[in-house]
Amino acid sequence: MEIISSIIIGIIIVAGIVYLLQKLQEVIAILAWVAVAYLFFAKDNLLGACLVASAWYAFHCILRFLGSTSEKSKKKPKEVRREKKKVERSSDGSFNINWNLVLMCLIPLFWPVLILRLFYNDKSNKSVPKLDAYDYEQHLKCNRRL
């Protein structure tokens, strides 16, 4: 019972965060680009500027995917009634998801991590054990050099 209540509380918290992020989307965009300009021009930190820009782009893609863009909030004139389009469903009955768009939204979240791992990862291969004299002798015997 505690698990179900904690899951429900988690869903409510996530929904509240998404709602607040949708309301603050324009403010976050302005702050992100100001931070990019500051990091790039004042601190000469290209990596930091790229990370902030990619985080903003991922945030923008996710909110656009969820359907909260500023164009949507503009009122459109009433249109003549149209026939409803049939919604395509997959064989299991769920809605079709454009996985290409989902993947494109997730890429900016992961490539900064890969770049940081490239620069800060230890270059030596830790899976290869150190060879002692006996191992080296066996290596030479196997290669018929001894």
pLDDT tens-digit profile of 83-133?
766 655 555 555 667 778 877 877 887 788 778 777 777 666 666 667 788
* Residue appearing with tokens 């064989």: 91
Fill in the DSSP letter of residue 39.
I
pLDDT score at 69: 47
Prediction pTM value: 0.37
* Residue appearing with tokens 């509380």: 9
Domain boundaries, the chain: 2-72+94-123
* Residue appearing with tokens 């607040």: 20
CB 65 within 8 A of CB 99: no
φ, ψ of residue 95 to 5 degrees: the values are -70, 150
